[in-house]
């Protein structure tokens, strides 16, 4: 088996610098944060999922059955804490009896009661979500660069890395940033699967496994995001697959079965709590324009609003911009921005941001190839610089 050669050239280094800016902002905010009741809730219930310290009878954790609230964020928040406890208790056996954390170094096989020696809890809780935000940024740049080239990809990634909303959800335990990561990956994994179906079948398997994993992990973050992603995957694959459309439903059915197995695993393969995925109302939604209005009316998102408005005008007025690569993220953004959940508290408008930035990068990349190149390069530079400065001004507020 041969692996593709990884080349780190100038574009990759510049993209890495932008991602480092996002990481630096996140670390600055986390360093000044105080642990909140929400942090403790994610830490406690996430550890219960991994360590099973006999929660209340009839419930999956002491947080209840998490009706409509995905388990992904809880497990992600609790995993580093559980690993640290296991490491400390394993090291306890190497200490002298008088220096051990617990007499005998054993706690009846449980790591739960050994929770008071945890260190760097704030970073262990928050950094996993920052890493997923960075992962999504890298994926956004990779997708945009393949479709639009370096300049469009840099604009999309720059807007992402200096978005106050992305940063706000990246520095705290929540399912929103995971649903955003999963949905973006699911949509473009489906497109990649459809393209692979045009070639030999030996290329289908890795794309199918990726599609299945994306569907399962998205569902573990939020059921509504998985439902939307599955629907978009069906439409997009039927459009792209062309002569292989007869295989689309088979692939998606098997991917859905695999995704359900992954989701079942997040509930420790326990049927009772898993049943609440279907009865908890996590997939119920309605429509409102309030979230989109608040997003685009915010002063800190002013440059993003300007870029989005310019991109829409160019898309509607220039025929060469109305193609598949630009239309998919635009339609997906328009679908997600007005959504609101009715049974759970969640933010579907946030899931639209990576698609919106991809659309902006794609349209601007088209204009960069015209005689208006210098004008739009200057405009994009001013948009990025202004957005970066506005984002930096929000950091103190995000750390409270």
Rounded Cα distance between 216 and 222, Å, is 10
Q: Report the percent of the chain where pLDDT is more than 70.
A: 89
Instruction: Map residue 255 onto helix, strand or coil.
Output: helix
CA of 279: how far to CAs of 65, 113, 143, 326, in Å?
Answer: 11, 33, 36, 37
pLDDT in tens, 237-294: 999 988 889 999 999 999 999 999 999 999 989 888 888 888 878 888 999 999 999 9
Residues 6 or more apart in contact with residue 208 via CB below 8 angstroms: 193, 251, 254, 255
State the pLDDT at residue 120: 80
> Is 60 exceeded by the pLDDT of residue 18?
yes
Q: Tell me what percent of the residues of the chain surpass a pLDDT of 90.
A: 68
Beta strands in the chain (DSSP E): 285-287, 339-341
Q: What pLDDT, on the 0 to 100 scale, is given for residue 1?
A: 44
116-127 pLDDT tens trace: 566 688 999 999
The pTM of this model reads 0.92
Write the CA distances from 69 to 110, 178, 273, 348, integer angstroms: 27, 12, 12, 14
Q: Tell me the C-alpha distance between 206 and 203, whole Å.
A: 7
State the pLDDT at residue 109.
42
pLDDT higher than 70, residue 334: yes
Per-domain boundaries in the chain: 43-119, 149-174+284-400, 175-275
More confident residue, 109 or 301: 301
pLDDT class of 140 with cuts at 50, 70, 90: very high
pLDDT over 90 at 304, yes or no: yes
Instruction: Kindly report the average pLDDT of the chain as a whole number.
Output: 89
């Amino acid at each position: 088996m041969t692996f593709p050669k990884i080349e780190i050239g100038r574009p990759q280094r510049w993209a890495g610098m932008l991602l480092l800016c996002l990481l630096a902002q996140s670390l600055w905010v986390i360093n000044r944060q105080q642990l909140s009741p929400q942090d403790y809730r994610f830490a406690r219930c996430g550890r219960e999922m991994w360590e099973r310290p006999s929660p209340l009878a009839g419930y999956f954790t002491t947080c209840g059955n998490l009706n409509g609230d995905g388990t992904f964020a809880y497990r992600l928040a609790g995993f580093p804490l559980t690993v640290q406890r296991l490491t400390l208790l394993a090291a306890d056996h190497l200490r002298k009896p008088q220096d051990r954390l617990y007499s005998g170094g054993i706690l009846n096989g449980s790591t739960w009661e050994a929770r008071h020696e945890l260190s760097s809890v704030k970073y262990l809780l928050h950094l996993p979500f920052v890493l997923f935000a960075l992962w999504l940024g890298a994926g956004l740049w990779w997708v945009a660069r393949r479709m639009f080239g370096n300049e469009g990809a840099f604009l999309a990634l720059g807007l992402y890395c200096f978005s106050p909303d992305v940063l706000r959800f990246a520095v705290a335990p929540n399912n929103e940033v995971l649903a955003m990561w999963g949905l973006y990956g699911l949509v473009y994994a489906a497109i990649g699967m459809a393209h692979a179906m045009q070639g030999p079948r030996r290329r289908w398997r890795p794309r199918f496994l990726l599609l299945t994993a994306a569907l399962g992990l998205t569902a573990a973050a939020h059921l509504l995001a998985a439902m939307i992603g599955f629907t978009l995957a069906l439409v997009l694959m039927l459009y792209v697959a062309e002569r292989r459309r007869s295989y689309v439903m088979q692939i998606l059915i098997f991917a859905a079965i695999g995704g359900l197995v992954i989701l079942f695993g997040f509930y420790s393969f326990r049927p009772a709590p898993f049943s609440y995925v279907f009865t908890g109302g996590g997939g119920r939604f309605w429509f409102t324009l309030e979230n989109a209005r608040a997003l685009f009316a915010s002063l800190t998102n002013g440059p993003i609003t300007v870029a989005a408005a310019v991109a829409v005008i160019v898309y509607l007025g220039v025929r060469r911009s109305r193609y598949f690569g630009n239309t998919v993220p635009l339609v997906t953004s328009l679908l997600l921005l007005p959504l609101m959940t009715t049974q759970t508290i969640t933010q579907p408008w946030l899931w639209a941001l990576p698609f919106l930035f991809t659309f902006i990068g794609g349209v601007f990349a088209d204009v960069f190839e015209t005689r208006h190149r210098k004008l739009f390069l200057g405009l994009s530079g001013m948009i990025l610089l202004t957005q970066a400065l506005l984002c930096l001004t929000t950091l103190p507020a995000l750390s409270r």
